[in-house]
Structure 1
Amino acid sequence: MSDRVQYTPIEGADDLFTPDFLQYLAAMHDKFTSRIHILREKRQEVLRQAHEEGQMPAHPPVSEINTGDWQVEAVPEELKRPGIEISGPASITPMFINALNPGADGNRAEGDLDDDEDSAAHRLIDTLQATRNRLGAVERTLTYTDVERGRKYCIAEGEIPFFMHRERGLHLDEPEVTVDGMPIPANILGTALTGRVPIFP
């Protein structure tokens, strides 16, 4: 905890929510939360106009964004490699380990998409577990024992897939983490936690 950031005391949270991380999270909140709220309000107005007035969304007005001579940086070479890309929740440990390991045919996925938007549970405990699992995978310390089935899961030798992340929707907050008493947007928290893990292990 800090003077500004409060969170539900979930087991293991303190290991991730270090003083430096909480300071970083507060800075992310200061920079982006108000902008996210403005975008939410604009979206609500567009939806209202569509539903109540039959006015469909239009293309954005002409501006530097759609007329300027700009380009994004080159795509990393790792993302150009052809191969299997797999997606799923990183919070379900045995499923995540299986996703990173070779399949029955011996082939391993090139990339793993940690899908917080569609396949993950939207709870703080799951968000933190996903972060711990990604860190454990990179450090080669991630294991899981299924006592009922008598089965142990661990990361197989060899290069593991690179990580990609799909964040929760712009409209969602994380009520179990607050900054100055205000729930933080879920995508700010997820992005900040994702930044703790190398993309290319």
Structure 2
Amino acid sequence: MLLQHAFGLFTHPADEWVSIRKEHETPVRLYVAYVLILAAIGPICAYISTAHFGWTVGSERLIKLTEISALQLSVLTYLAMLVGVFALGYAINWMARTYGANEEHVPSNGVALAAYSCTPLFLAGFALLYPVPWFNAAVFLAAACYGAWLMYDGLPIVMGIEKEQAVLYGGALLTVALVILVATRVGSVILWNYGIGPVFVG
């Protein structure tokens, strides 16, 4: 089962990457059995915490979102995560030939590398049940760092390249990931201007 890899990537990542390369799952199966499930953790936890628990900044009053607003934002976040993982996977495959790897007609290895590298970020979504901004920021920063390391560690194994090439390849992919992140932030601002922004409980 693909979800077993989530545990293995924290305990013995090198062996897990070898197993992932051998499986060579199609992007569709990988999405259905892994990404759709784990990517839902953050949005579900965010919905529960923002609509029902609320949060405070300093000594200010408790802040909450309306249930409809929290649901809208959670669904949009979920969709953005799915698109982001898929886009990163295609970027990995698209840049493969540049860094000495084989570009695939169906980008199975690229999407797998993107999806499994995002595992720490998916699991960090549990931290949103405790809606304290500094705590959430610290958890997601640590998860992003470990995810970047997983990608660097997995690139030579999954894409079949030299370790030295993985440094340049990984740097290029992190740049792509940041562009995707900025694009989602810009998309959020555009949607907020169309009225799909946060609505706070009065």
Pair member with larger Rg: 1
Give the alignment's TM-score, normalised by structure 1: 0.23
Greater fraction helix: 2
By percentage of residues, which structure has more strand?
1
Q: How high is the TM-score relative to the length of structure 2?
A: 0.23
